Amino acid sequence: MSQLENDRYLRALLKQPVDRTPIWMMRQAGRYLPEYRATRAEAGDFMSLCKNAELACEVTLQPLRRFPLDAAILFSDILTIPDAMGLGLYFETGEGPKFTNPVRTAADVAKLAAPDPNQELQYVMNAVSTIRRELKGKVPLIGFSGSPWTLATYMVEGGSSKTFSKIKAMAFGEPKLMHQLLDTVADSVISYLNAQVEAGAQALMIFDTWGGSLSGPAYREFSLAYMQKIVDGLVRQADGRTVPVTLFTKNGGQWLEHMAETGCDALGLDWTTELADARSRVGDKVALQGNMDPSMLYAPIPAIEQEVSRLLASYGQGTGHVFNLGHGIHPDVNPEHAGAFIAAVQAESAKYHLDES
């Protein structure tokens, strides 16, 4: 077993005793940090940063130099898989990701093949192994992917969408075609995440950003069924340790019981679900990650500290909670406020673990 100086995050995900609640932040390596902006400028553009293992490693480590976080997360993008499928990913300033070759027809779907993670996505594996080496066992490294439904929304819409009209037209009008597409994407995610584990990732997270756009039955059919397939297909042991898996559906708080049935280890929560309610609903089945509103970081520091105390009390005594924001940190947040948030979790959470450590 590879030794970790700090395995609090892995232990909490597996509901094992910890001395305090572990914390990391979604998008902790990002534009709110001036050092990130400098490295991105050096890379030239976002995808060049993702594809350069040394620079991707540098930005992954930047927040850990500033803050005593309990985990590092691979610096990458959820759209690496569709890009490797040849859909022509590019980024429009102020408009987000777009694809030159969206998937709209049966012929488009038939052309897709799961990319080989050690060929077309080798740059991601290079980044994982570089980061793991440079972490030197200080904290665990989280690997991740987008969910099949979320990746498919970008692939079919050709970019971001407010209405999801094209993908929903496919899902409801041509469900067989939709399932064929989701199946191919799910197979791609399984091989991609397993390759990340082989390269050194010690925990995995699946981001289902757009699952919350569906009705309950459609969510179970088009999103959750494919996350279930992924959970079933993942390597869950490496380096003599369990590799915990976290599922996160934004705006998915109403489906936590269904999500907990997949066999994942933890569920991510956005800020619209109260921790106490989520814990009472899922019981001891899974750990919970979350869930402060990222916009709280605009508030004065005493207000941030008060909200941290409220959320810790909402979860209550015992292990099984990883503190995080309910989504990614906003780019214009003052890093000092992020630091105060992390410090507050560390100072306040030990009393919730007195019977454990």
Q: Spot the catalytic one: 19, 31, 187, 281.
A: 31
Residue 40 annotated to the active site: yes
Residue 77 annotated to the active site: yes
Query: How much is the CA Rg of the chain, to the nearest whole Å?
Result: 19
Structure tokens at 97: 């990701």
Beta bridge pairs of residue 177: none
- Sequence-distant (6+) residues with CB within 8 A of 10 are 4, 140, 202, 203, 241, 242, 244
Residue 133 annotated to the active site: no
Distance separating alpha carbons of residues 290 and 32, to the nearest angstrom: 20
DSSP code of residue 234: S
Q: Spot the catalytic one: 37, 40, 220, 236.
A: 40
Beta bridge pairs of residue 287: 266
Residue 66 annotated to the active site: no
Distance (Å) of CA 258 to CA 253, 273, 281, 282? 10, 15, 11, 9
Residue 9 annotated to the active site: no
Chain-centre distance for alpha carbon 258: 19
Residues of each annotated binding site: 27-31, 77, 154, 209, 327
Give me the DSSP letters along 74-129. Answer: ----TTHHHHHTT--EEEETTTEEEESS---SHHHHHH--PPPTTTTTHHHHHHHH
Q: Spot the catalytic one: 9, 36, 154, 192.
A: 154
Residues of each annotated binding site for substrate: 27-31, 77, 154, 209, 327
Q: Spot the catalytic one: 77, 108, 187, 293.
A: 77
- Sequence-distant (6+) residues with CB within 8 A of 315 are 21, 275, 276, 279, 288, 321, 352
Catalytic machinery residues? 27, 31, 40, 77, 154
